Amino acid sequence: MTKTDDWSAEYDDGDFRVRMAGGAEDNAWDSFVQSTPGGHIAQSSLWAHVKVGSGYETGRVMVGRGGLIEGGAQFLIRRFRFVGTVAYAAHAPVVAGCEASLYDVTVRAIHKLCRKHRVRYAIVQPPRGGDGIAAYLARSGFDVSPVSVGPTATFIVNLGRSEENLLRGMRRRTREHIRRGLREGVVVREGDRPDLPVFYSLHALSARRHGHSPLAQSYYERMWDLLHPFGYVRVFLAEFEGAPVASHLVLSFGDTASCFRLGWSGTHSALGVNDLLHWHVIRWAKGAGFRFLDLEGINRPLAEMLIKGTPLSEADRRRPSFIELGYGPDAVLLPEPYGFIYDPLVRPFQGVLTRQVRRSSMAQALLERLRDR
């Protein structure tokens, strides 16, 4: 395991015991996150080790009573030239319940941690189902942040249905593509570490087609080496006539498997390769006992229209997310990100600065460097 900033401190806050720590592996924290609704692998101490290799420092706060953790947040912290130190916590704070005193102590601990690291700006984006803590943040001096550190909407496939009903819930054209892929001899298999370069080449092709720069291959190799021993990452490949055509890197944690990264060569679309690969991942996730498959982020306005039943325009139907709608998922809105400025001279102008950052392409580009998802 790579060396991290290993430190800790504890103190009492009312009825709660608060522990602040660095990035050392913490099985108790990981178990809490994994068992709490909305808990995401990005909040695990293992994920902190993945990110340390990308130049981040980690800080974690844990709040509990009677020896049991009830809430907390893990931050990734990085210093930027000319800007100072920025920290973000995706899918956090993680809290078990909706007790106001728990919210109070957790947010106070977050402020204490950020001040310890001399953070100038902190971003927190609550997890799926975290509407209570999101509302509390909005009442506690946080403003909606100009940049997300995770999706603000997604598609979720409920795996509690039978395979027959999962297929029935799909768009007819999607089912036809799946059958065509099977008929034409497309083969889907689960891969292993030697297949990561194949996954990466397909992923890089997809990223560049959409105008994105992929992260380095070494990032995914590090992720694999740290997470695969625990079963938290898998790779699936679709091949035609022995050649790889499409790939999925799937993360799993708690009750949810997530299509974290996709790759496609751009060829053989008529064979239904991508739909067959998605169907294979759905079947795998269901067979492995997960309750949900997260298709990992969609356009929020599109999700809002789907939830309201608003007819989609032709432009909406051309979005990549519209293809994923063929798998029969539910559109889910996720909490928005919230930010807090720690400079006392600047904080009174937080709302004004947030609006200016939203309009500044340079500031947006800087903040986007925080993200990897």
DSSP one-letter string for 196-247: HHHHHHHHHHHHHHTT-PPPPHHHHHHHHHHHGGGT-EEEEEEEETTEEEEE
pLDDT score at 370: 54
| Domain identity same for 162 and 297 | yes
pLDDT score at 321: 82
In whole angstroms, what is the distance from residue 39 CA to residue 126 CA?
10
pLDDT tens for 286-315 read 999 999 999 988 989 999 999 999 998 988
In whole angstroms, what is the distance from residue 256 CA to residue 141 CA?
32
Helix (H, G, I), strand (E, B) or coil at 13: strand
Contact between 40 and 252 (Cβ < 8 Å): no
Return the structure tokens found at 230.
């625990």
The helix, strand and coil proportions of the chain, stated in percent and rounded to the nearest 5, come to 40, 25, 30
Q: Flag the least confident range among 323-327, 332-336, 361-365.
A: 361-365
pLDDT of 234 > 90? The answer is: yes
How much of the chain, in percent, has pLDDT values that exceed 90? 79
Q: What is the CATH number of the domain that holds 295?
A: 3.40.630.30
pLDDT band at 54 (very low <50, low <70, confident <90, very high): confident
Q: Flag the least confident range among 76-85, 218-227, 274-283, 284-293.
A: 76-85
| Domain identity same for 140 and 194 | no
pLDDT of 359 > 70? The answer is: no
Asked if residue 259 is part of any domain, the answer here is yes
pLDDT band at 354 (very low <50, low <70, confident <90, very high): low
pLDDT tens for 115-173 read 999 999 999 999 999 999 999 999 999 999 988 899 999 999 999 999 999 999 999 99
| Domain identity same for 324 and 350 | no
Q: How far is CA 270 from CA 60, 89, 295, 319, in A?
A: 48, 41, 22, 18
pLDDT of 373 > 70? The answer is: no
Residue 348, Cβ density class (10 Å: 0-12 exposed, 13-18 middle, ≥19 buried): exposed
Torsion, Cα 286 292 293 294, to 10 degrees, reads -170
Asked if residue 1 is part of any domain, the answer here is no
pLDDT band at 356 (very low <50, low <70, confident <90, very high): low
CA 94 from centroid of its chain's CA atoms: 14
Asked if residue 273 is part of any domain, the answer here is yes
| Domain identity same for 171 and 117 | no
pLDDT score at 355: 63
| Domain identity same for 196 and 125 | no
| Domain identity same for 104 and 171 | no
pLDDT band at 1 (very low <50, low <70, confident <90, very high): very low
pLDDT score at 23: 79
274 or 81, which is more confident: 274
Average pLDDT over the chain, rounded to whole?
Answer: 91
pLDDT score at 2: 41
Give me the mean pLDDT over the 68-96 stretch: 93
What DSSP state is assigned to residue 348?
Answer: G
| Domain identity same for 258 and 114 | no
- Amino acid identity of residue 185, one-letter, is G
Give me the mean pLDDT over the 272-291 stretch: 97
In whole angstroms, what is the distance from residue 237 CA to residue 249 CA?
9
Domain that holds residue 84: 8-150+335-368
pLDDT band at 55 (very low <50, low <70, confident <90, very high): confident
8 or 194, which is more confident: 194
Query: Number of structural domains, the chain?
Result: 2
Q: How far is CA 108 from CA 18, 19, 42, 105, in A?
A: 10, 12, 22, 5
| Domain identity same for 85 and 191 | no
pLDDT of 352 > 70? The answer is: no
| Domain identity same for 166 and 231 | yes
| Domain identity same for 326 and 346 | no
Asked if residue 2 is part of any domain, the answer here is no
Give me the mean pLDDT over the 48-64 stretch: 92
pLDDT tens for 326-337 read 999 999 999 999
pLDDT score at 83: 77
Q: Which residues sit opposite 144 in a β-bridge?
A: 338
pLDDT tens for 183-225 read 999 999 999 999 999 999 999 999 999 888 999 999 999 999 9
Query: HSE on the CB side for 162, CA within 13 Å?
Result: 3
Asked if residue 302 is part of any domain, the answer here is yes
